[in-house]
Amino acid sequence: MGRILVLSIICILSLGFPGFSQNDQPNIIFILTDDQRWDALGFAGNDLIHTPEMDRLAAEGVFFENAFVTTPICAASRASILTGTYERTHGYTFGQGEIKQPFIDQSYPAVMRKSGYHTGFFGKFGVNYSGFEGLFDIGENYDRLDRYKDRRGYFYKTLGMDTVHLTRYTGQKAIEFIRQAPQEKPFMLSLSFSAPHAHDPAEEQYFWEKEFDSLYASQHFPRPLLSDREYFDAQPVYVREGENRNRWHWRFDTEEKYQRSLKGYFRMISEIDHEIGLIREELLKLGKDKNTVIIFMSDNGYFLGERQLAGKWLMYDNSLRIPMFIYDPRSVQGRKVKDMVLNIDIAPTLFDLAGLEIPKSWQGLSLAGFLEENSPDFEREDFICEHLWQVDIIAPSEGLRTKDWKYFRYINDPQHEELYDLKSDPLEKNNLALNPAFQDQLTEMRRKFEDREKELRK
């Protein structure tokens, strides 16, 4: 037993702590956007949006066609990204105080910094933790300012004498971090853009730098799928009267609002894309492009008027599905992956790339194997989707998604269940829960969910 312990310590020291060569481990940039839905990306098949830098990274890297968050709200999803665990495990969402210290102790920022990586963070941390400043070598936590009910919510940071959009600020901070990173160790940089999240207190909702005014100016966006009233009427009353409907009125309830909101939302994504291009130029200039892995994803999906709703929070794929890709210049290029991958997979992937031991308590899986020539045997048949925050304006819900089926129910109204055959009904139009022909499938999905839920609570 003692010999095993000594060997383990030697292994950890050789892989993780100060003294290793940067050539042994890659630099890593993890980019997280806010409310970017899975198809708000050219490479995902969107012919309307302008995202050339994201598209290039997705095309040359590994693009995950079926990427999801386990919890479609920023606070809980970001905690899951940090800790590699489901919401019902880490227990963090809005209104819960601070995230529990044991989860932070095993989080990717804490361990990667201790292992010898030079770490940085800029943008929206999104998790309430008073020890943020000690998590990174260089860190700055900022988000939209709700006290401003106009463009100042996004325009209050300065570079030199100029007040700039938060996206521009975050991009510049990334460039400065890369320039100043020490040469003797690899860096791990987390960038968390507030965009394209709407600025909720403002009437116009979406804000961007003036240089993007002409982008999409002449574009007319088609109405969303499932925008007929019947899909709204099919919702239970607590959804019809909840925050998803309120925000639909803010953004999409007239043709004028819809066109303005879509242009704003897309411009904010294109602005992030532009900053990614500048960051990559800096990597190339400094000769760090060949050893820097870039991971990209969003914290949750987004309704753009489907079912006459806005926001996220619900268990439909509009809320759950996100864009995700990994670009590793050292590995196989240009692969699309159909396996279901999750936000809880990010932390294990970061550890795997860095050569660190993945904690057994984590519930995600490493995606690093997809960067190799032969895809790994990926052991995921389903995942729990959940939104557990008990708040009057958003009905909490939970369910299970497999490749071909989706089951969910509302926690405070468990008799309302929904069941979808995703293979024949990918838009989730036909709820089969009350169809006598599908009662066995409903029972089976309910049982699977409850079994998986029990496993998470052990």
Answer for the pair 342, 68: CB distance below 8 angstroms, yes or no. yes
Q: Where are the domains of the chain?
A: 24-380, 396-458
CATH architecture of 396-458: 2-Layer Sandwich (3.30)
Q: What is the mean pLDDT of the chain?
A: 94
Whether 1 has a pLDDT exceeding 60, the answer reads no
Mean pLDDT of 52-68: 97
Residue 368, classed as helix, strand or coil, is helix
In whole angstroms, give the CA distance from residue 435 to residue 287: 60
Where helices occur in 160-228 by DSSP H, the ranges are: 166-180
In whole angstroms, give the CA distance from residue 404 to residue 425: 9
- pLDDT tens digits, residue range 268-315? 999 999 999 999 999 999 999 999 999 999 999 999 999 999 999 999
Whether 237 has a pLDDT exceeding 60, the answer reads yes
CATH architecture of 24-380: 3-Layer(aba) Sandwich (3.40)
- pLDDT tens digits, residue range 391-418? 999 999 999 999 999 999 999 999 999 9
Where helices occur in 234-324 by DSSP H, the ranges are: 237-240, 243-251, 255-285, 317-320
Comparing 458 with 16, which gets the higher pLDDT?
458
> What global pTM score does this model have?
0.93
Domains 24-380 and 396-458 share a fold: no
CA atoms within 13 A on the CB side of 152: 5
pLDDT at 458: 66
pLDDT at 79: 98
What are the structure tokens assigned to 43, written together? 């490479």
Whether 92 has a pLDDT exceeding 50, the answer reads yes
360 DSSP 8-state letter = T
What are the structure tokens assigned to 283, written together? 């990597």
